[in-house]
Chain A
Amino acid sequence: MWAIAGLARCVQPQHSGAMTAPLTIVVVEEDRDRAIAIVDALKDSGDYDVHVIGNVTGLSRRIAAFMPDVVLIDIDNPTRDMLEELTLATGPLERPVAMFVSGAAGGLARAAIEAGVSAYVVDGLQPERLKPVMDTAIARFQMIRQMRTELIETRRALEERKVIDRAKGLLMKAKGIGEDDAYALLRKAAMDQGRRVAEVAEALVTAAGLLR
């Protein structure tokens, strides 16, 4: 999951009337490839000043140094709590920062959470300036998240296959049967017990290890 923290900013003298000044976005991401993917997507979608922070030591201070309008961070990263300091009245940004929740932004914020994203926004940053950033980020995070899920599933499938192969081997040796019969035996046991073949195989391998 991902968090989008948008730091909505109060009207600031140096920005007044500066509708054309590009938004400053900070991406907090330790994985270099993922950071690049996000930065590229943002730069393709608009004129943004994007910075990446890869090392979270002194995170809130380093973010404050960029005076960002928006901060993007992975929710699964426990260091996200360090960003909460930015929302304090006495925090490092010295300006109000709020979660991006009200009005039209509410729908976006919910979409962000569902994609694994949440948002901090400063009062005064126009929703129409923030929306394209959020849209791009949400889409990119969804893609990354999906890739990550697929990777985990692929790894798990691979692990399960290994365990099933070992269980089959144990059965073939113990009972003097062929590979297909060994698999049929595992599948029948799984069906009888209402469990997955991989679970039965794992139980068998564990038990065999104990009995050795």
Chain B
Amino acid sequence: MKAVSLPVAYIPLVDAAPLIVAQELGFAEAEGLSLDLVAAPSWSSVRDMLAFGRVDAAHLPSPVPVAMALGIGGVTTAISAVSVLSANGNVIGISRALESALAASGYAFDFADAGAAGAALARVAGPSLVIGVPFPFSMHVELLHVWRSATPLADIGFEIRTIPPPLMAQALAAGEIDAFCVGEPWGSVSVERGSGALLLPGCAIWSFAPEKVLATRTDWAETEPHLLGRLMRAVWRAGRWLSHPESRTAAAELLSRRRWLGVPSEILDRALSGHLTISPKGDVREVPGFVEFHRGAATFPWRSQARWIAEQLAGRAGLDKADAMTRAAAVFRSDLYRNALQGTGAEMPGASDKLEGSLSHRTAVASASGRLILERDRFFDGRIFDPFAD
């Protein structure tokens, strides 16, 4: 059988791994697919390629399809997030000047306590902070707002500015930004170049944040259900493979190739292993669950995740929150996920919404198999998002 070629846009990042692995290790081929992976230079171009039909599927930050459904941002084509590609995986980095000031103030760089890090940073930051993010619609932005809202950072100026990740280290070194929130490998790259230090992993703010999604045009999902199912199964199996500890070295080697990320495998291994070098001096911190591709139903597109994102976006854009949440919930397609992945061994939760932030430890929950264990999904300030609260 000749494989069907399917164009898929992505940005070369560690969390594009499920797509790259699906193609390179034969998971796509086993479904009769050949993924034509198109590397894009920016999220806006990934989004446009998907919206205008240059590709049929894409790697996108989870807030992008939600923002599109709410009419925020440039493009409003109906997009479906059919699965989550990864949870977590971002880092917050700071300039060398702030690193020195924090060290002088006695801060211990535990790389874990977001409340303490926010308080310490607010003390040394001066009147305001300029923070770089890759895209205005991204989990990076949402994590920064959560972090700021519950720490003394709320009392200082806080400007979030879009900087392409490959230029983040340079912007930090040039003093254009004081800090950044970015996906790997770009945080580790800036440490490696000596232009910054890492302050927190994203999961210290929200321990199970839906980071990237597998997105398709909603009309394509309707007209090509079989092709979509094959794509989803191939990508889900790739995520499962990535979650095996013994896959890690091979994954880092594969992603490091020039065809994919073109970054030394040693640097990629930091994110994959959760063994991060946080300063140019070589200080190392362990972060269990730094990035998740599979465990705890990481790939399940919870409607409540979309509602949470919508509430955040609507709040800042001045839109009606209840209406925004309803529209967003229709974008995260737990229905398509259930259809495509039944029979693969994927754990199917009993519900499609959950209380976001309610699990302070791993918890068994109702599921089709009775074996689903969700990972900790706590926010650092203990907030709980109830998707159906009034």
Judge whether A99 and B136 touch: CB under 8 Å: no
Return chain A residues, CB-CB under 8 Å to B74: 5, 84, 87, 97-99, 120
Q: How far is the CB of A99 from chain B (nearest CB, A)?
A: 4
Q: A57-B176, A88-B72, A118-B45 are in contact. Are A78 and B164 (CB under 8 A)?
A: yes
Kindly state whether residue A110 has any CB partner on chain B within 8 Å: yes
Shortest CB distance A71–B (Å): 11
Taken together as a complex, chains A and B put the C-alpha atoms of A81 and B41 apart, in Å, by 9
Are B72 and A109 in contact, with the CB atoms below 8 A? no
Query: Across the interface, do A81 and B76 meet the contact criterion of CB distance under 8 Å?
Result: no
What is the interface residue range for chain A against chain B? Answer: 20 to 34
- Select the stretch in B48-56, B142-150, B247-255 that faces chain A: B48-56
CA distance A109 to B316 in the complex (A): 29
Instruction: Say yes or no: A89 contacts B72, CB within 8 Å.
Output: yes
In angstroms, how far is the closest chain B Cβ from the Cβ of A11? 19
Select one of A76, A84, A98 contacting B162, CB under 8 A: A84
User: B73 near A: Cβ within 8 Å?
Assistant: yes
- What is the CB-to-nearest-CB distance from B39 to chain A, in angstroms, rounded to a whole number? 11
Pick from B41, B53, B72, B161: contact of A78, CB below 8 A: B41
- The main secondary structure of chain B at its interface with chain A is loop
Which residues of B lie under 8 Å from residue A99 when comparing CB positions?
Answer: 48, 51, 73-76
Q: Is residue A101 contacting chain B, with contact meaning CB distance below 8 A?
A: yes
Q: Is A3 an interface residue (CB 8 A)?
A: yes
Cβ–Cβ < 8 Å partners of B45 in chain A: 1, 3, 75, 80, 118
Binary per-residue interface labels of chain B (70-98) against chain A in the complex, 1 for a CB within 8 Å, 0 otherwise: 00111111000000000000000000000
Partner of A81, one of B49, B77, B134, B317: B134
Contact yes or no, B42 A75, CB < 8 A = yes
CA gap between A89 and B48 in the complex, in Å: 20
State in angstroms the CA–CA spacing of A195 and B145 once bound together: 53
B51: chain A residues within 8 A (beta carbon): 99, 101
Q: Is A77 an interface residue (CB 8 A)?
A: yes
Q: Report yes or no: A89 in contact with B164, Cβ–Cβ below 8 A.
A: no
Q: How far is B52's CA from A82's CA once the two chains are assembled, in angstroms? A: 21
Is A79 an interface position by the 8 A CB rule?
yes
Determine the residue in chain A with the shortest Cβ distance to B164.
A78
Contact: B75 with A89, CB < 8 Å?
no
Q: Of A57, A76, A114, which is within 8 A of B41 by CB?
A: A76
Query: Assuming A110-B52, A113-B49, A113-B54, is B73 touching A118 (CB within 8 A)?
Result: no
- Alpha-carbon gap, A60 to B136, bound state (A): 12
B167, CB-defined interface residue at 8 Å: yes
- Interface assignment of A30: CB less than 8 Å from any CB of chain B: no
The answer to whether A101 and B77 touch (CB under 8 A), given A110-B52, A118-B48, is yes
Taking CB atoms, residues of chain A closer than 8 Å to B49 are 113
Contact A118–B164 (Cβ < 8 Å)? no
Could you mark each residue 147-172 of chain B with 1 if its beta carbon is under 8 Å from any beta carbon of chain A, else 0? Answer: 00000000000000111101100000
Q: Which residues of A contact B (CB under 8 A)?
A: 1, 3, 5, 57, 60, 75-85, 87-90, 97-99, 101, 109-110, 113-114, 118, 120
Q: Across chains A and B, which 10 residue pairs bring their CB atoms closest together, nearest first? A: A99-B74, A78-B164, A99-B75, A118-B48, A81-B42, A78-B41, A113-B52, A87-B74, A80-B42, A75-B45
